Amino acid sequence: MATWTCPDCDTVNGADDAHCRVCTTRREEAEQRRAAEAAAALAAAREEATAAEPASRGLARRRAPALALLALVAGAVAVAVATAGSGDGHGAAPGGSPPAAVDDGSSGAGDGTSGAADAGATASADATVPVTYHRGAYSLALPASWVPAQDGVSHPGYVESRWHPAGHARVTVLVDHTAGSSADAETAARDVRAQVVGAPTYRPIAWGPATLGGLPAWRWDFDLDGLRKVDWFVHACDTGYALLGSAPPGAFDRYEPTFAQIADSLRPACA
């Protein structure tokens, strides 16, 4: 049988061989190694990309709240600058800082209302020229975007007025006054609190002294009937005054500075 020698590897092949079996095997093994190495490199690259992806998404999640917070702070600064001229110039923060949270001996839980209907409203929406309302017994400055819902409605023993931002009726400021009252601010606040302290949805948040327009006052923060509320009480001109700000829990933090500015603008008629 005639044979031939492979010029690449000097392997002696039979005459009927079409190619060198040794060289073919070596080529196939080399191709398999290269394919395996390529597959391993691809798998490693995918694993590395997968491991890095959550970290980058986590960074994005951390950046988004930070940017949102920066925008919120910027909006709050804009509101403060726009409304700085409406105060009485005594230099204190409008409405005073919220008193320290205390447990007033009662318990209860809110109903978890989210206030989604008011989620689109922001404090910057109230950065308009204040409009002063004169109600005989007092005057009050509110953002121009707010509208009256009740105007001087008489009840047994007191007179009540109510305002809210246009399009957001669940966000309200209510002012009532009781002529001929001799109760100081804290006493008046305790009398009102006694009427709701047993309600199943009542939850106390803060309770303590404050200042409104330079007058000694009392501030009470609480949840009731699915709303977050802040109530200020002040006594002047032989009259008791109360100003109540209310909003769904999800919107309250945006409106609380506006509530405080409105409360601080309250001026008894004889003051």
CATH assignment at residue 100:
3.40.1000.10
Among candidate residues 36, 65, 86, the one where a domain is terminated: 86
Count of domains forming the chain: 2
**In terms of domains, do 93 and 77 share one?**
no
**In terms of domains, do 156 and 237 share one?**
yes
**In terms of domains, do 115 and 220 share one?**
yes
Per-residue HEC secondary structure of 77-106 comes to: HHHHHHHHHHCCCCCCCCCCCCCCCCCCCC
Orientation angle between helical segments 21-83 and 249-264, nearest 10 degrees: 30
**pLDDT for residue 54 is more than 70:** no
14: Cα separation from own chain's centroid: 86
Bridge partners (DSSP) listed for residue 222: 204, 229
The string of pLDDT tens digits covering residues 191-208 is 999 999 999 999 999 999
* Other Cβ atoms closer than 10 A to 199: 13
Give the chain's end-to-end CA distance (angstroms, integer): 129
Q: Which pLDDT belongs to residue 210?
A: 96
Q: Which two tokens stand for residue 11?
A: 């392997």
Contact in structure between 204 and 196 (CB atoms under 8 Å) = no
User: Cα–Cα distances in Å, from 249 out to 88, 117, 153, 157, 243?
Assistant: 29, 11, 27, 31, 18
Which amino acid, residue 137? A
Mean pLDDT of the region 215-242: 96
Least confident of 68-77, 113-122, 180-189, 257-266: 113-122
d(CA 204, CA 11): 96
3-state secondary structure (DSSP) of residue 26: helix
* Other Cβ atoms closer than 10 A to 111: 12
224: closest CA among 243, 244, 240, 209?
Answer: 244
Domain of 227 in residue numbering reads as 88-268
**In terms of domains, do 212 and 100 share one?**
yes
**pLDDT for residue 68 is more than 60:** no
**pLDDT for residue 109 is more than 60:** no
**In terms of domains, do 118 and 216 share one?**
yes
**In terms of domains, do 111 and 216 share one?**
yes
User: In the chain, what percentage of residues exceed pLDDT 70?
Assistant: 58
**In terms of domains, do 131 and 93 share one?**
yes
Among candidate residues 40, 57, 86, the one where a domain is terminated: 86
Q: Which residues contact 58 (CB under 8 A, 6 or more apart)?
A: none
Among candidate residues 64, 86, 108, the one where a domain is terminated: 86
* Other Cβ atoms closer than 10 A to 110: 16
Measured at the CA of 33, the angle between CA 30 and CA 35, to 5 degrees, comes to: 110
d(CA 87, CA 130): 11
**In terms of domains, do 42 and 132 share one?**
no
**In terms of domains, do 214 and 262 share one?**
yes
**In terms of domains, do 153 and 67 share one?**
no
Least confident of 45-49, 125-129, 247-251: 125-129
